[in-house]
Amino acid sequence: MNNAFSFSIKSLRLDEHYNPSESTRITTNFANLARGEKRQQNLRNALTMINNRFNSLVTWDNPNSDRYAVELEIVSVGMKINASSHDSFPVIEILKTTVVDTETGQRIEGIVGNNFSSYVRDYDFSVVLPEFNKDKAQFSIPDNYGVLHGNIFKAFVNSETYSQHFSKQPVICLSVSSKNIYQRTGNIHPVLGIEYQQDTPSLTDDYFGKMGLKVRYFMPANSVAPLAFYFHGDLLSDYSNFELISTLSTMETFQKIYRPEIYNANSPAGLRFQPALNHQDHSLTVIEYDREERARLATEQGKFTEEHFIKPNQAQLEQWSAQQAL
């Protein structure tokens, strides 16, 4: 059974000429930018924001704040249910960063992960949860919620396919939850900045926990809100400064575009912080983004996953997932 499941990887450069592939979730951060009449301008502006933010944090030997550029590569992961099948389902999509020193020409490996996209997560959040809680007075989580998704992620990270392409574990960087309260600690990292702790784990924390990932929250210098970093191992010791800066400059840029109420607010988070998507004192970027469309499409993509991946393979997936826990 385990041998019947396998992973494959396809990579695509994310630059101003990027066009989403047919298997890419169109709600994915970068794919959403690459749509409409201003798609190329959107991508160009986002990449410029990433480079500027990276250079603002790498201040040594960088007097003009323009020495480095961040290149992004979209990593699409396909999963085959049967070894004899020619078809695979696009289970995961992540980003890989590479830092280019324009002065020396050196290419410095960054972090894989960053953004995290998953059709199965759409299914869990937009199909399973609403159906389970329909007509219920109190919100609750079904048994084994997120277990299949978590096992798929762990199986991929532990696979030979992953080790052939990447030397370190992934780091995922997301927005903080608007339902939780975050408290400043006395811990300050030279790159990631001020550490925050939350009052209680969020649904996303629990979900990513099933993927084998822990979480820490940091607000970098000149940022206005903490970011959530999901990782395996030791976030602060396992990665270099350049690796960490490549991730936070990339993902903070996306969050400024998609969550301007939180990440492009006009004043920084205080000692005690609760994010709010209705916060009015914020600035908008010049990049166009349709948040309402994104929410609607997440449901459509969840139903697509149910029809084309979950239901046709349910017995095999349940048996395989159960074996992963042994």
pLDDT digits (tens, 9 = 90+) for 10-26: 998 988 887 765 555 44
Which 8-state DSSP code applies to residue 3?
Answer: G
The mean pLDDT value of the chain amounts to 89
Residue keyed to tokens 């469309």: 293
Say how far apart CA 58 and CA 311 lie, in whole Å. 49
Percent of the chain with pLDDT over 70: 89
Rg (CA), the chain: 20
Section 131-147 average pLDDT: 92
- Say whether pLDDT at 291 is over 90: no
Q: Which H or E run includes 53?
A: helix 39-57
Per the confidence metrics, is the pTM higher than 0.75? yes
Report pLDDT digits (tens) over 258-282. 899 999 999 999 999 999 988 889 9
**Does 3 have pLDDT greater than 60?**
no
* Minimum mean pLDDT range among 77-91, 206-220, 240-254, 257-271: 77-91
Query: Sheet harboring 89-101: ordered strands across?
Result: 6-14, 68-80, 89-101, 107-117, 171-175, 227-231, 214-219, 193-198, 182-189, 272-273
User: What percent of the chain clears pLDDT 90, i.e. is strictly above it?
Assistant: 69
3-state SS, residue 66 = coil
**Amino acid 284: pLDDT:** 83
Residue 289 has pLDDT above 80, yes or no: no
| pLDDT-derived band at 181, boundaries 50, 70, 90 | very high
Give the pLDDT band of residue 251 (cuts 50, 70, 90).
very high
Among 184, 165, 280, 172, residue whose Cα is nearest residue 223:
184
Classified as helix, coil or strand, 77 is strand
Q: Indicate if the pLDDT at residue 36 is higher than 80.
A: no
> Is the pLDDT confidence value at 27 over 50?
no
1 confidence band (pLDDT: 50, 70, 90): very low
pLDDT in tens, 111-122: 999 999 899 999
Q: Is 186 a residue whose pLDDT tops 50?
A: yes
Instruction: Say which amino acid occupies 278.
Output: N
Q: Give CA–CA dist 255/261, Å, rounded.
A: 10
The per-residue pLDDT for 58 is 96
Residue 225 near residue 219, CB atoms below 8 Å: yes
Residue type, 279: H
Strands 107-117 and 214-219 turn out to be unpaired
Q: What is the pLDDT of residue 243?
A: 97
- Whether 70 shows a pLDDT value over 70: the answer reads yes
The count of C-alpha atoms lying within 13 angstroms of the C-alpha of 89, restricted to the half-sphere facing its C-beta, is 20
Question: Residue written as tokens 């050196």?
Answer: 106
Compute the average pLDDT of residues 217-224.
96
Query: 82 is written with which tokens?
Result: 């049967």
**79: pLDDT strictly greater than 60:** yes
Structure confidence at residue 65 (pLDDT): 96
